[in-house]
Amino acid sequence: MLLERSAGAVVFSIKYSGNVFFLLLRYSAGHWDFPKGNIEDGEDEVQAACREIREETGIENVVFLEGFNKKVEYNYRRHRNVIHKEVVFFLAKTDSQRVILSNEHIAYSWTDFDSALAKLTYMTAKDILVKAQDYLKSRYIK
Ligand code: ATP
């Protein structure tokens, strides 16, 4: 089995209303997920997540919230190979809501918690969103 390691982040922004919006991307395979991508040689997980956010959304100014670091694992098939994938997700705040998509994705959406939960395709991603929301409620949002 081949192993793939990616890093990404639950990117959120707080609008004037004080409400939190999460950034989701629609992958060309059809699923909705957070920005993420493969960790390259010489990079650590945070550097990879930062680069992927920049490349996939055009957003440069993100602040990673301390202590949020969640891993998901899944298997998928590419041609004849089964790939085992591990993805670590951070939680990142931005004040830039303007998104410039790369050609890896077909849509993006800034959505509130309930819509994001409904939109995310995979249970693992929904679980990360719930954990991010819990973190924000307990430690960040008044
Ligand atoms: P990246 O470079 O951002 O890691 P990718 O498009 O190469 O993205 P994935 O988003 O991991 O890779 O998608 C690869 C395959 O795995 C797709 O068929 C997708 O539907 C499936 N997949 C993605 N996320 C999950 C998940 N959480 N659980 C199960 N299958 C998933």
Give 125's DSSP letter: H
Task: Report the distance separating Cα 82 and Cα 119, nearest Å.
Answer: 26
Homologous superfamily (CATH) for 2-139: Nucleoside Triphosphate Pyrophosphohydrolase (3.90.79.10)
Q: How far apart are CA 8 and CA 72, in angstroms?
A: 11
Residue among 4, 6, 10, 27 whose CB has most ligand 1 atoms within 8 A, to mutate:
27
- Over residues 33-42, mean pLDDT: 98
Domain limits of the chain?
A: 2-139
Percent of the chain surpassing pLDDT 90:
94
Q: Which residues contact 33 (CB under 8 A, 6 or more apart)?
A: 8, 24, 25, 27, 120, 121, 122, 125
pLDDT tens for residues 85-105? 999 999 999 999 999 999 999
Average pLDDT over residues 106-117: 98
pLDDT tens, residue by residue, 51-84:
999 999 999 999 999 999 999 999 999 999 999 9
Q: For residue 68, how far is its CA from the centre of ligand 1 (angstroms)? A: 21
Q: How far is the CA of 137 from the centre of ligand 1 (A)?
A: 28
